[in-house]
Amino acid sequence: PALYDAYDLKASIGPRVTGAVFQWSVWLLRLPLVGPALSTYLLHMNRAHHVRGFIAKYPEQPTFHAITIPSAEAAARHASMAAQAVSLPAEPPAVYRHWTPQDFVEAYKSGRTTPRQVAERILQAVRDSNARTLAAIVHANESDFLA
């Protein structure tokens, strides 16, 4: 299907897993033969397979080209806001990094964050996005998301 045909607000279908089942699922998805097959199946089931293909066409890091150069004050304010939104590694990675479920499991185990904190940060990012003209997420059911 065409890229724009896939965005019809149909509900995603996927397993709801937590705890040991979540860890087992992460382990299963990381297996060399089973992981790609299961991942492809879940993406096709939710009509999201075209997104991975689209992303794979562009192997370089995401880039941002400023229309205007911000003042030193604005740059410092933006850097502070960005630091509060995410915890960056001490040294930036050489290539863009996709966070894996295993990264989240390790963060939960170490106590750096909780699933609820991650969900609240995502919802806040959606609210911030929708407060501006971007509106990247058309609808988010917050009570279901936090359940």
Q: Tens of pLDDT along 132-144? A: 766 777 777 888 8
Tell me, what amino acid is at 20? A
Q: State the pLDDT confidence band at 1, using cuts at 50, 70 and 90.
A: very low
Give the integer Cα–Cα distance in Å for 79 and 70.
Answer: 12
- Across the range 117-137, mean pLDDT stands at 80
How confident is the prediction for the chain on average, in pLDDT?
A: 76
Per-residue tokens: 8: 């019809």
pLDDT at 110: 92
pLDDT in tens, 70-99: 788 888 888 887 777 666 556 655 565 677
Give the integer Cα–Cα distance in Å for 129 and 135.
Answer: 5
Highest mean pLDDT among 29-33, 42-46, 93-97: 29-33
Nearest CA to 89 out of 77, 103, 102 is that of 103
Give the integer Cα–Cα distance in Å for 73 and 107.
Answer: 33
Beta strand segments in 1-147, E: none
Q: State the pLDDT confidence band at 126, using cuts at 50, 70 and 90.
A: confident
Angle between helices 101-110 and 115-131 (to 10 degrees): 120
When comparing pLDDT for 80 and 120, which is higher?
120
Nearest CA to 102 out of 4, 15, 27, 50 is that of 27
**This prediction's pTM:** 0.34
Give the integer Cα–Cα distance in Å for 76 and 38.
Answer: 43
- Pseudo-torsion of CA 39, 43, 45, 47, nearest 10°? -170
pLDDT above 90 as % of the chain: 2
User: Alpha helices, DSSP H only, in the chain?
Assistant: 19-29, 34-45, 49-56, 72-85, 101-110, 115-131, 142-146
